[in-house]
Homo-oligomer: A and B are copies of this chain.
Amino acid sequence: MSSEQQITGVDGIAAALEQAIHEHRLSPGMKLGEDDLAEVYGVSRTIVRAALQSLAHNRLVDLRRNRGAFVAQPSIVEAREVFEARALLEARTARSAAERAGPEDIARLQAHIDAEHAALAAGDTGRALHLSGQFHNEIAEIADQATIAEMVARLIARSSLIIAVYWQRRSALCESHAHHELLGAFAAHDADRAEELMQGHLLDLVTSLDLRSDRSAPASLREALAQGGAA
Contact = CB atoms under 8 A, between A and B. Distances in A.
Interface of A: 50, 53-54, 57, 78, 81-82, 84-85, 88-89, 92, 145-148, 151, 155
**Oligomeric state, in copies:** 2
Contacts of A78: 146-147
Contacts of A89: 88-89
Contacts of A85: 145, 147-148, 151
Nearest to A86: B147
Contacts of A82: 147
Contacts of A54: 53, 57
A88 B92 contact: yes
Nearest to A145: B81
Given A50-B53, A78-B146, A85-B148, 11 more contacts: A53-B53, A53-B54, A54-B57, A57-B57, A81-B147, A82-B147, A84-B148, A88-B88, A88-B148, A147-B155, A151-B151
A69 to B, nearest CB: 14
A148 B158 CA distance: 13
B57 A146 contact: no
A89 B155 CA distance: 14
